[in-house]
Amino acid sequence: MVVSEDGNVRDRLLRAATEIFAHKGYKDASTREICRMADANGAAIHYYFGDKASLYREVFHPPERLTRLPSELTDPKASLRAGLEAFFRQVLRPLTESGVSPHLRLLVIREEVQPSGVLTARHSERFRPNHEVLCRFLARHCSVAEPDLAIDHLAFSLAGMAVILLFRREAVDTLAPGLLRDAEAVEDAVQRLTEYGVALVGSERRRRQSPGDGKRGTRA
């Protein structure tokens, strides 16, 4: 697959890098492979960006809407179900769409769960609050004032259910071929995940209301 033909070398490099970084991660991606896909000479990365890390940082300039969680999570009027459905649909979107922005979405998620270590603090700040947004959303729907360790864990559980489909695609396709076959199947998965998420939050809510539970696990 070559993304050449249109655009200048710099843009082609950015597009190819986005796709390859997103699918392989920073370390496993090779500059030679990126140049091959962009139909560019190896020295072009040095000429336009300086080095591999700078290219990565340049790629990692997603428009704000790609780094922020869906508005349903911050809207106090949104229902639990609506928030979770929007969350899972956004996370799984790279599985169905193609083009640059889905790759960028994938890259953002990958950076969040598997930091490359080459981003600047300025960059990192963009997605660090996402965990907090999700936690506050969950706390609100658990009738909890301040997120604690259990809410953190709840957030990781929701994320874990989603990212195993994104980043363990090979294992998923081997053990359950068809689970992510087409857009329709992915939408089914989103619906199931939403249902599961509602059940998880309901469980946590119930766990807190049940008496005789030592209040262990405050944050930090």
The torsion angles phi and psi of 106, rounded to 5 degrees, stand at: -60, -40
Of residues 178, 211, 212, 215, which one binds its own copies by CB under 8 A?
178
Partner touching 78 among DNA, its own copies, none, CB below 5 to 8 Å by kind: none
x-marked contacts with DNA along 8-37 as a string, rule CB under 7 A:
xxx------------------xxxxx----
Binding range to its own copies, per CB under 8 A, among 45-53, 56-64, 99-107, 199-207? 199-207
x-marked contacts with DNA along 38-67 as a string, rule CB under 7 A:
--xxxxxxxx--xxxx--------------
> CB-wise, 42 or 160, nearer to DNA?
42
Amino acid letter at 135?
A: C
Residue 217 makes contact with its own copies by CB under 8 A: yes
Q: Is 34 helix (H, G, I), strand (E, B) or coil?
A: helix
Of residues 112, 146, 209, 211, which one binds its own copies by CB under 8 A?
112
How many residues line the site for DNA (CB under 7 A)? 20
Residue 26 CB, nearest approach to its own copies (Å): 12
x-marked contacts with its own copies along 134-163 as a string, rule CB under 8 A:
---------------xx-xxx-xx-xxxxx
Residue 183 makes contact with its own copies by CB under 8 A: no
Cβ atoms within 10 Å, residue 167: 17
DSSP secondary structure code for residue 142 in this structure = T
Helix 149-167 to helix 183-209 angle (10° resolution) is: 160
Sequence-separated (6 or more) residues with CB below 8 Å from residue 214: none
Residue 7 makes contact with DNA by CB under 7 A: no
> CB-wise, 39 or 188, nearer to DNA?
39
> Which pairs count as long-range contacts for 55-58, CB under 8 Å and 24+ apart, including other chains?
55/13, 55/14, 55/17, 55/31, 56/17, 56/21, 56/26, 56/116, 56/118, 56/119, 57/118, 57/119, 57/120, 57/123, 58/14
Amino acid letter at 76?
A: P
Residue ranges that bind DNA, judged by CB under 7 A:
8-10, 29-33, 40-47, 50-53
